[in-house]
Amino acid sequence: MEKIISYPISIVYYLLFLWWLCFFHPIQWVCFNLFGYNAHRKSVALLNMFLIKNTIILGTTYSFKGVEKLPKDVPLIFVANHQSLYDIPPLIWFLRDWHPKFISKKELGKGIPSVSYNLRHGGSALIDRKDAKQSLTEIKKCGEFINKNNYSVVIFPEGTRSKTGLPKAFSESGLKMLYKYAPNAYFAPITINNSWRISRFGQFPLGLGSKLEFQVHEPLKISDYTFENIFEKTEKVIKENIKTTKVR
């Protein structure tokens, strides 16, 4: 029954979703080219606030806890499990004070209104998963960028999204580059729960009534740990807090 009801609701959702992307694309351009970095950053945050509100149509609710643990005026490396595309707008909006950038596949850098523009001009790293050298070089640049400016970066070390919420193995390579080239940073683990439920039927129709939960854990200062130790602690705390409800 939920799936049947969701068909017309999903159509309305996608129409409005596309509207917000197209509406904010020229706003981003104007902000970036006429007013600079901060104006562009704020326009991106505002876009993602509207994208979050757009999911109210689907009956989606959000809980984002633990931001009070995050230090200010230092670079942060947000490490999170990855369940769906719906992970991203809440991370951008609720972490907006920390100027979040993303480690993203290069294919997203073209053809998507607002999204591609932000990835190309907002300081994110666009990586080619088939080219390890290019990927690590871009991550290195991003690490140096956030370290210099006290910004943050979001990385999903699982690589690909978990379609059932069950965690996948974490890859070390990207995190190791950030650890090395952002030595003043903190690893800030985040556990994401239930965003996979929005896409539990696929991209159409969408799941209704999902309760998305984001939990920020205690940040770990890079200089206090070896890479192996901080990697182990980060992966452990994230995965220990993932709710592994099976698909119904």
CATH number of the structural domain spanning residue 196 = 3.40.1130
Angle at 217 between CA 121 and CA 228, to 5 degrees: 85
Dihedral angle at the C-alpha atoms of 127, 158, 154, 71, nearest 10 degrees?
A: -150
Structural domain tally of the chain?
Answer: 1
| 245 lies in some domain | no
**In angstroms, what is the C-alpha Rg of the chain?**
18
- 111 — alpha (psi -120 to 50), left (phi > 0) or beta? left
Q: What is the pLDDT of residue 247?
A: 42
Q: How far apart are CA 154 and CA 92, in angstroms?
A: 9
| 174 lies in some domain | yes
First-last CA distance in the chain = 13
| 141 lies in some domain | yes
Going residue by residue through the chain, which has 248 residues, state the pLDDT in tens, using 9 for 90 and above. Answer: 778 889 999 999 999 999 999 999 999 999 999 999 999 999 999 999 999 999 999 999 999 999 999 999 999 999 999 999 999 999 999 999 999 999 998 898 888 999 999 999 998 989 988 888 899 999 999 999 999 999 999 999 986 666 667 888 898 899 999 999 999 999 999 999 999 999 999 889 999 999 999 999 999 999 999 999 999 999 999 999 998 754 44
- 159 — alpha (psi -120 to 50), left (phi > 0) or beta? left
| 246 lies in some domain | no
| 152 lies in some domain | yes
| 221 lies in some domain | yes
| 59 lies in some domain | yes
Stated as kind and residue range, the H or E segment containing 80 is strand 76-80
| 120 lies in some domain | yes
The answer to whether the CB of 186 falls within 8 A of the CB of 220 is: yes
Read off the tokens for 182: 């952002």
Q: What is the pLDDT of residue 245?
A: 57
Domain that holds residue 231: 2-240
